[in-house]
Amino acid sequence: MNKPIRVLAVGCALLFGALLLNANYVQFVRADELNDMPENRRVIDAEYARERGPIFVAGEAVAESKPVDDRFEFLRTYGPRPRVYSHITGYYSYLYGASGIEQTENDILSGSDPRLLFNRVIDLVTEEQPKGGNVLLTLDPAAQAAAHHGLTALPEQAKGAVVALRPDTGEVLAMVSMPDYDPNVLASHDFAATADAWKRLTSNPAEPLVNRAIQQRYPPGSTFKLVTAAAALSSGQYTPESLVTGQATYTLPNTNIELGNAGRGSCGGEQITLTRALAFSCNTSFAKLGAEDLGAEALRNQAQAFGFGQDVFDGLPNSVISVFPEDPDDPQTALSAIGQFEVAATPLQMAMVVAGIANDGTVMQPFIVAEERSPDLNTLEETEPEALSEAVSPSVAADLRQMMVEVTQSGTGGVAAIPGIEVGSKTGTAESGGGRDPYAWFVSFAPADDPEVAVAVFVEDANVPASEISGGGLAGPIAKSVMEAVITP
Amino acid sequence: MSSAPATAFGFVHRKRRGAELLLLLLALCIGIGAYAIVGLAREGAVPTDILGYGGGLAALALVAHLVVRFRAPYADPVLLPVVVALNGLGLAMLHRIDLSLAAAESVFGPFAPDQLLWSAIGVGLFCLVLFLLPDHRRLQAFTYTFGLAGLVLLLLPLVPGLGVEINGSRVWIRAMGLSFQPGEVAKVCLVTAFSGYLVVNREALALAGRRFLGMDLPRGRDLGPILVAWVASMSVLVFQRDLGSSLLFFGIFVVLLYVATERPGWLVLGGLMFAGGAYAGYLVFGHVRERVGGWLDPFSNPAYDQIVEARFGLAWGGLLGQGLGEGSPTRIPFVWSDFVVAALGEELGLTGLMAILLLYALIVERGLRVALLCRDAFGKLLSVGLATTFALQVFVVIGGVTGLIPLTGLTTPFLSAGGSSMVANWVIIALLLRISHQARRPDPEVRAPEADDATQVVRLR
């Protein structure tokens, strides 16, 4: 009977061989894939029990992990002013994952980034608890506070966003979205309270968790006239002194629809200069210019040169792409030229338009993470400013800057004037559709001779009579205070 | 064994009890060390009862060793230490799971104290077998008694009022506040019965029938026994919803049939019959389909939570493991029974899991070696049966937990919480040692008869 026993021994060896191979497959080959599955709580728990690295704004921690006496050992807290930075830091929740910088910089903050591997090995040997790295942001605390203060000071239920950029680098100096929320509530270890807060935040129609500065796009209204003006100047057929129509109404091509101006009158003559058309935000001038002289192609190209149609920002999650309509007919082109129809832009995109004009025509890639550091404060990576595109030539940019200064000095943007400093600006009031209040926009830069800051302010549902909503009135003062916060040391 | 001295009468095995003692010390270091590490990791200190616990474990091992030394001195020296290592590791892991369960205020547990008690009972039975059974051939006389006992034990959970259904399988009985899995004991009885039956009938069963694809198929009239075994195993599948036991019983029977007759045709026939039965079961029974579904895509349904968490735990363990006490094995529901290897894989890593698999492989290899050395047909069949039981059971349960095959409910020998499995497996090891002693001891017949030797009266029981 020994022959079958030997055969059986080979059979058993095969069985055990299969078990050994399969163990290697699960625990080695597939391990990373299994560990990365979102429903794998072990990995999340382990991250929770680790000291997560802080997020710094100008030397102050806006998010840090503090030791606590419970099973997670560390609690994520969001500094003295959690709401001011809520859409930047995002939340870090046991139940609901992470958002904002907590999400995009998770590898550094949690310490799992391969560049921190050396530290982890040392920790393993010295029995130290592994720590996460630090993230330094580009934000200017004064500008951020000014932007947040400006939006909170608006009437109740007002929603909106502010973005401020440094034109020559692309650094995000301020980014605020309203309504905001307190990320501490979601990071809490009191899971019942967290679940409660989550339910309230996600069922709130005002969507406080959405970062309106980058995650929503709106019709930019008259602020888009900057793009139309840029296209006109770049075409070579126009100068700031070129005459365009200043009539009270403009009949859209091939239709009987009459387009009027905001004040229902003419813009100061049958023929006015392009500079004056921009200063008084003359709809008829720009609609005609766009539809009859430039065309949709030129407008789209100009918009894309400023960043429309591409994903321009990866510093925070889920940013949306700004769009110019695909194939508009002539009346639609006329409306698109004044930032209506299907033109839609994020507040960040409009800030980039202004920043490009302010930076001699070159749009810089916006970024919010200035530096990543290891737990022992060695620099892992510093973000280098990078040009995204040349939107207009330096001379066209200079013309546009001068025209925008004119908007502040004699046009609709007077509210943003800062004594002793030249400010360039452009207002916007966009139809929001559906019978809702119009959107109010304000974009600006300062100082005009050497711009340090470019701002876009956006306000919706301000709960004031529709006739009183104007980009200048609501949004202008906020832009002014943000610019002052950056310029005044 | 090549270094064993050859005598004029041929090859003589050494007793090697000293080697066994040395290996036992090593095994105790593993078990007691694991217990100490669990304490260090979970409570920051070596458990205060380490002396009592370690002493207890060492005493059990020592008793087992002494019994072997005096009652079966030529027995295989590797089996006992391997089993003690596994048993100690299992106890440490259950203690570790207890601490997590207690911290979470679970209604389950503690398991380690009961497990320690059952280990003691297991060692007691181990000693009893070695004491009461000087020669395994005596068991052959009880072939049909064991067969009947095995069947009764197997069907006991179906008795209303006695059997209880746990986790969908009806394989438990509960009496006097204790629950017991009689299938584990039935396993030993049935292997003994199969061996006894086949020793007697193997000549007839080996007669060749038709030749097919170069293989001699058995004659039609000899199909009776395999049909009975098949029907019995299928009824276990149908009525107790226990795919694992069903596969185990039938598998052992077919393997023994093959070994006894040396006809591979039986293996093919048995394989086809089981595959057919299992496929019919898949078509007819929801619980079988569910198991296969959980195997093919565990992530498709939250009902496969146990498999998914086990998979995550194994991946989390990685190459070196999280360290004893540092993982979260209690995320796996009922981790203390069938899934205990997933907990070990998580905390000891791939390295630890492979070591455990090799320990099991060593038991099987030693068992088969006993079968090769054994001089009587009954002993050969019995040891092959017991070793194969081990191999199949380990393959089915660990293969199921790690996702190699569909999950079926079987306990992990010496590791899973559960008294019936513990005592049954200790008895299996005792039987293997007994056969191994008989196989390895010097042939008594080699002594040259002396002139004045009185005719001996041989008592046949």
Residue B337: partners with Cβ closer than 8 Å, 6 or more residues away: B411, B416, B417, B418
Q: How far apart (Å, rounded) are the C-alpha atoms in residues B332 and B411?
A: 16
Residue with tokens 């007919």: A329
Q: What ipTM did this prediction achieve?
A: 0.91
Query: Regarding predicted confidence, which is higher, A131 or B426?
Result: B426
The helix/strand/coil state of A453 is strand
Contact indicator for B316, A43 with CB cutoff of 8 Å? yes
CB contact under 8 A, A42 and B345: no
Residues of A belonging to the active site: 222
What chain A residue is nearest to B374 in terms of C-alpha separation? A2
Model confidence band, residue A472 (pLDDT cutoffs 50, 70, 90) = low
Minimum-distance CB partner of B388 among A8, A20, A24: A8
Closest Cα to residue A313, out of A186, A231, A457, A217? A217
What pLDDT score does B139 carry?
A: 92
Model confidence band, residue B6 (pLDDT cutoffs 50, 70, 90) = very low
Q: Residue B217: in which H helix or E strand, if any? A: strand B215-218
Check residue A55 and give left, alpha or beta (phi > 0: left; psi -120 to 50: alpha): beta
Residue A388: partners with Cβ closer than 8 Å, 6 or more residues away: A170, A307, A312, A352, A363, A364, A365
Q: What distance separates the 2 farthest-apart alpha carbons in chain A?
A: 114
Chain A residues close to B365, C-beta within 8 Å? 9, 12
Q: How far is CA B181 from the centre of its chain?
A: 14
Whether the per-residue pLDDT at B184 is higher than 90: the answer is no
Q: How far apart (Å, rounded) are the C-alpha atoms in residues B12 and B1?
A: 9
Take residue B65 and report the two structure tokens written for it.
């060793």
Q: Average pLDDT, stretch B119-127?
A: 95
Question: How far, CA to CA in Å, does B312 sit from each of A37, B305, B327, B404?
Answer: 9, 10, 11, 15
pTM, 2 dp: 0.71
Minimum-distance CB partner of B328 among A12, A15, A45: A45
What pLDDT score does B429 carry?
A: 96
Query: Regarding predicted confidence, which is higher, A264 or B129?
Result: B129
pLDDT digits (tens, 9 = 90+) for B9-68: 567 788 889 999 999 999 999 999 999 999 998 888 888 888 988 999 999 999 999 999
Query: Regarding predicted confidence, which is higher, A124 or A389?
Result: A389
Model confidence band, residue B229 (pLDDT cutoffs 50, 70, 90) = confident
Instruction: Please say whether the dihedral angle defined by the alpha carbons of residues B81, B82, B83 and B87, taken in this order, is positive or negative.
Output: positive
Peptide bond into A447 cis (omega under 30): yes
Q: Average pLDDT, stretch B214-239?
A: 74
Crossing angle (nearest 10°) for helices B305-317 and B340-373: 80
Q: Any idea which of A404-413, B13-22, B350-359 has the lowest mean pLDDT?
A: A404-413
Whether the per-residue pLDDT at B446 is higher than 80: the answer is no
What pLDDT score does A270 carry?
A: 80
What pLDDT score does A434 carry?
A: 59
Query: Regarding predicted confidence, which is higher, A399 or B235?
Result: A399
What pLDDT score does B226 carry?
A: 75
Chain A residues close to B345, C-beta within 8 Å? 23, 27
Q: Any idea which of A18-22, B159-163, B413-417 has the lowest mean pLDDT?
A: B159-163
Contact indicator for A427, A472 with CB cutoff of 8 Å? yes
Fill in the amino acid letter for B412: T
Q: Average pLDDT, stretch B337-350?
A: 92
Take residue B413 and report the two structure tokens written for it.
């020998």
Contact indicator for A461, A212 with CB cutoff of 8 Å? no
What chain A residue is nearest to B358 in terms of C-alpha separation? A16
Q: Average pLDDT, stretch A252-258?
A: 81
Q: How far apart (Å, rounded) are the C-alpha atoms in residues A53 and A86?
A: 17
Contact indicator for A475, A457 with CB cutoff of 8 Å? yes
Q: Any idea which of A34-38, A407-411, B216-220, B397-401 has the lowest mean pLDDT?
A: B216-220
Mutate to test the interface with A, among B357, B359, B432 (most CBs of A within 10 A): B357
Q: Residue A164: in which H helix or E strand, if any? A: strand A159-165
Q: What average pLDDT does the structure give for chain A?
A: 86
pLDDT digits (tens, 9 = 90+) for B242-272: 778 888 888 998 999 899 988 888 888 888 9
Burial of residue B50, with CB atoms counted within 10 A of its CB: 0-12 exposed, 13-18 middle, 19 or more buried: middle
Q: Any idea which of A36-40, A282-286, B277-281, B373-377 has the lowest mean pLDDT?
A: A36-40
* High-pLDDT (> 90) share of chain A, %: 34
Mutate to test the interface with A, among B203, B267, B350 (most CBs of A within 10 A): B350
Residue B394: partners with Cβ closer than 8 Å, 6 or more residues away: A16, A19, B357, B360, B364, B412, B413
Chain A residues close to B44, C-beta within 8 Å? none
CB contact under 8 A, B318 and A27: yes
Percent of chain B as helix, strand, coil, to the nearest 5: 70, 5, 25
Q: Any idea which of A42-46, B30-34, B329-333 has the lowest mean pLDDT?
A: A42-46
Q: How far apart (Å, rounded) are the C-alpha atoms in residues B295 and B403?
A: 6
Whether the per-residue pLDDT at B120 is higher than 90: the answer is yes
Q: B239: distance to nearest CA of chain A, Å?
A: 28
pLDDT digits (tens, 9 = 90+) for A412-463: 777 888 888 888 988 888 766 655 667 888 999 988 888 999 999 998 876 6
* High-pLDDT (> 90) share of chain B, %: 45
Whether the per-residue pLDDT at B118 is higher than 80: the answer is yes
CB contact under 8 A, A42 and B354: no
Q: What's the DSSP call for residue A292?
A: I
What pLDDT score does B5 carry?
A: 43
CA angle B302, B306, B307 (to 5 degrees): 90
What pLDDT score does A366 carry?
A: 94
Contact indicator for A353, A443 with CB cutoff of 8 Å? yes
Whether the per-residue pLDDT at A95 is higher than 60: the answer is yes
Give phi and psi for B407, each to the nearest 5: -75, 130
Model confidence band, residue B454 (pLDDT cutoffs 50, 70, 90) = low
Mutate to test the interface with B, among A19, A50, A125 (most CBs of B within 10 A): A19
Q: A107: distance to nearest CA of chain B, Å?
A: 18
Mutate to test the interface with A, among B215, B375, B395 (most CBs of A within 10 A): B395
Q: How far apart (Å, rounded) are the C-alpha atoms in residues A255 and A252?
A: 6
Take residue B453 and report the two structure tokens written for it.
């030797």
What pLDDT score does A407 carry?
A: 85
pLDDT digits (tens, 9 = 90+) for B285-296: 877 888 888 888
Whether the per-residue pLDDT at B8 is higher than 50: the answer is no
Give phi and psi for B317, each to the nearest 5: -65, -40
pLDDT digits (tens, 9 = 90+) for A148-203: 998 888 877 788 999 999 999 999 999 999 889 999 998 888 888 889 999 999 99
Minimum-distance CB partner of A19 among B314, B331, B395: B395
Take residue A340 and report the two structure tokens written for it.
């209506």
Take residue B399 and report the two structure tokens written for it.
């293969």
Among chain A, residues having any CB pair with chain B shorter than 8 Å are 1-9, 12-13, 15-16, 18-20, 22-24, 26-28, 30-35, 37, 39-43, 45-46
Minimum-distance CB partner of A12 among B315, B331, B368: B368
Contact indicator for B38, B99 with CB cutoff of 8 Å? yes
Q: What's the DSSP call for residue A375?
A: T
Chain A residues close to B384, C-beta within 8 Å? 5, 8
Q: Any idea which of A37-41, A46-50, B113-117 has the lowest mean pLDDT?
A: A46-50
What pLDDT score does B347 carry?
A: 93
Minimum-distance CB partner of A1 among B262, B312, B315: B262
Chain A residues close to B318, C-beta within 8 Å? 27-28, 31
Q: How far apart (Å, rounded) are the C-alpha atoms in residues B351 and B324?
A: 13
Give phi and psi for B39, each to the nearest 5: -60, -45
Fill in the amino acid letter for A404: M
